[in-house]
Structure 1
Amino acid sequence: MALKTSSRLSDVDEYGFERPPDFNYQNYEEFMSRYLSVLTRRARKWSHLLGAKETVGRGIKVKRYVRKGIPMKHRGKMWMEVSGSRRKMEAHPGYYKSLLEGSLDEEVVESIKIDVPRTFPDNIYFRDYNEGKLTDLYNVLVAFAHHNKKIGYCQGLNYIAGLLLIITKDEESTFWLLNALVEDLLPQYYTPDMIGVLTDIKVLESLVKERANLVWRHIKHYELTWGLLTTKWFICLFAEVLPIETVLRIWDCLFYEGNKILMRVAITLVLSNEQKILMSQDFGDIIECFKKITKDADAIDCHTFMENVFKVSGSFPRARLAKLREECKEEVMAEMKK
């Protein structure tokens, strides 16, 4: 059923996020009027795929279904399954609880205590230690920091763990999904030197130079860096950047296909908005443009957005991306030594 008037929409979405004062209700309603039928159709197909089961393993058909979106009721369990997190959790019963009951590094704990209340200030579930998700978030971050002491706690993890909690509604599942993201899917992203993030920013710049040379020249002319424009895209995995429904569709693919999806999304955002970027004629205008393209009608329509991600980004051979990452990583490391 389509939403007909903006008065029918709550000021808070189904995930607990308050809609900003400039929220475009008309764009959202137009999107939902189309998307509700998509959700109904996808739910029916997923129900047929799963049968009596809650999750299903990997396969060509499952990959195709994941790209078209996992229904909310199956999302947490499917993320656990396709990322390998469920198997890890079942192989280590009691491990999560033991981390919280063990000896804790007070310095790390203090860093987490400072950051936890800053997580999603626009979300009603992250405001109260007694009734909300702040205690759960604190526990997950403390456990992960003591599980992976090389990384410990890194800023940005609070947003990722927070969104995982909203979806899974379970501390231990969130811990294992965070583990899969940081250790398996995004190695070197959350290290102290953030070598993985810096590498992927340079990879993006290289791809823009190749596929949208005018944009690359435009950014260079105004002496902006791609790090200034896109660091948050990669660190937060587009959380707090793109609309929540779009982020969740990206994460569906991230857990199934790996970190290549982040580069597909980043290059699609640039290529799809080439003219808007080129029309921005000074330093401040370009920065504002990069913020607006992540909140406009195209970004809100998560279904069309994800279809474009796989069309606009074109062929993305994993071997070529790996080679490009290796070359860019060498450049980043050389720059660090200067």
Structure 2
Amino acid sequence: MTDNSVLNKYGFFCNSLPQLTHLQLHQENARIEKWAKMLRNWQRYSTSKHKKLKSRIRKGIPSCFRGYVWYLISGSESFKSKYPADHYQSLLQNECSRVVVNAIALDLSRTYPSHIKFKGEEGRESLNRLLKAYSVFDQEVGYTQGMSYIAALFLIFLSEESSFWLFATVMREYHLREFFIRNMPGIHESFYVMNGLVRHNLPAIWKHFKNISVSPSMYATHWFMTGFNVNFSIEISLRVWDCFLLEGQKIFFRAGLAMLKIHSKEICESQFEEMMLMNKTLGEKTDANELMRTAFSFYLTRKLIDRLKTDYSHNPKRKYLNWERIDH
């Protein structure tokens, strides 16, 4: 058997498949039945039983329901309703700038190259159309490297048009576009918040990073800009996005802190060059369940995150500005 000759349940070619026990299969079937019941009573669970919904989403949405649930919890249908029924098709009729066309073309072949959908011309062309349509829809953003991974993840579970509206919702309503517009204000704000959270929650790592001159711009850029879709297992990417679409960007900080905590020994023993190399491999060897358990073990309030964001906007602390801040 040659390398990457087996197709996993998400559509990625890999070397081998995990062997599930009868107990694990039984548990998975039980989860699917619980979710089927919940979806039949969606109005109730999304309002009066929201706590139960949140708990189940944090444990992971069954893949057979994932696309449907993502579309539901994101409010994409409501966002779509603000535009004419044929708006996506009309966007496809518009010409993109040559710069955007070329930038998208460069990323098509390197976005999930081991996924069956994007190995084929049809899948890559679907991703191409979606990204071009968004560049017309939001011309201030256009296209920036990193966006293709988010759009491609949605295309694995949803139709092209539904993926577009989910992508547009995430960019606009979840404010991810601030990671991609000129000067990337959202990503720099996230670096500041991450520094504050690392200092509060992982002081030994904060001290070590200070000693070896490592800032979030060096280890967390691809975490935030791709939503943990690069250098991470697909299980981690999906679990992060399950939570992101219900709870927002706080999960990015939780997952980032969890990554640092799980690998704290290796990190604190590393020098600058070793840390840069490790950052490309740690995510793929991290267990998704362990990451999520660790992520939610932190006492992380929205109040603290909002305070750090306010500090960054009005009176940033120099110790958290350990990268070159770009202002408009």
Q: Which TM-score tier does this pair reach, normalised by the shorter chain?
A: 0.7 to 0.9
1:212 paired residue among 196, 202, 210:
202
2:26 and 2:184 map into 1 onto residues whose CA distance is 41
Whether contact under 8 Å (1:243, 1:295) holds in the other structure is: yes
The answer for unaligned runs of 5 or more in structure 1 is 1-5
* Deviations 1:170-194, CA, capped at 9 Å, x for gaps: 1111111111211111241111211
Aligned residue in 2 for 1:162: 152
Of the structure 1 ranges 244-253 and 208-217, higher mean CA displacement relative to structure 2 is found in 208-217
Aligned length: 316
* Amino acid of the structure 2 residue aligned with 1:319: K
1:35 and 1:288 map into 2 onto residues whose CA distance is 35
Deviation at 1:224, TM superposition (A): 2.4
Aligned residue in 1 for 2:114: 122
Aligned residue in 1 for 2:300: 316
User: 1:302-313 counterparts in 2 under 5 A?
Assistant: 302-311=288-297, 313=298
RMSD: 2.8
* Amino acid of the structure 2 residue aligned with 1:97: Q
User: 1:264-303 counterparts in 2 under 5 A?
Assistant: 264-280=254-270, 282-296=271-285, 299-300=286-287, 302-303=288-289
User: 1:173-184 counterparts in 2 under 5 A?
Assistant: 173-184=162-173
Whether contact under 8 Å (1:202, 1:328) holds in the other structure is: yes
User: 1:187-226 counterparts in 2 under 5 A?
Assistant: 187-226=177-216
* Deviations 1:149-205, CA, capped at 9 Å, x for gaps: 11111111111111110111x111111111121111124111121111122122112
Is 1:11 matched with 2:6? yes
* Amino acid of the structure 1 residue aligned with 2:283: T
Deviation at 1:233, TM superposition (A): 0.7
Deviation at 1:56, TM superposition (A): 6.7
Deviation at 1:54, TM superposition (A): 11
2:228 and 2:43 map into 1 onto residues whose CA distance is 27
The answer for unaligned runs of 5 or more in structure 2 is none
Is 1:326 matched with 2:317? no
CA distance 1:36–1:294, change in 2 (3 Å): farther
Deviation at 1:289, TM superposition (A): 3.1
* Amino acid of the structure 2 residue aligned with 1:212: L
2:56 paired residue among 34, 44, 65:
65
Aligned residue in 1 for 2:161: 172
Aligned residue in 2 for 1:257: 247
CA distance 1:10–1:96, change in 2 (3 Å): same
1:149 and 1:215 map into 2 onto residues whose CA distance is 40
1:61 and 1:99 map into 2 onto residues whose CA distance is 39
Identity %: 28
Deviation at 1:128, TM superposition (A): 3.0
Deviation at 1:243, TM superposition (A): 0.9
1:74 and 1:29 map into 2 onto residues whose CA distance is 21
1:17 and 1:277 map into 2 onto residues whose CA distance is 30
1:143 paired residue among 117, 133, 136:
133
CA distance 1:334–1:227, change in 2 (3 Å): closer
Deviation at 1:266, TM superposition (A): 0.5
Whether contact under 8 Å (2:79, 2:169) holds in the other structure is: no
* Deviations 1:214-238, CA, capped at 9 Å, x for gaps: 2112122222222111211111100
- When normalised by structure 2's length, the TM-score is 0.86
Q: Secondary structure at the match of 1:29?
A: coil
- Structure 1 outlier segments of 4+, above 6 Å: 52-56
Aligned residue in 2 for 1:102: 94
Of the structure 1 ranges 50-59 and 173-182, higher mean CA displacement relative to structure 2 is found in 50-59
* Deviations 1:105-149, CA, capped at 9 Å, x for gaps: 3432232223222322233322332xx411110110011110011
1:198 and 1:276 map into 2 onto residues whose CA distance is 26
- When normalised by structure 1's length, the TM-score is 0.84
Whether contact under 8 Å (2:57, 2:243) holds in the other structure is: yes
Deviation at 1:45, TM superposition (A): 0.9
1:69 and 1:197 map into 2 onto residues whose CA distance is 26
2:231 paired residue among 241, 254, 277:
241
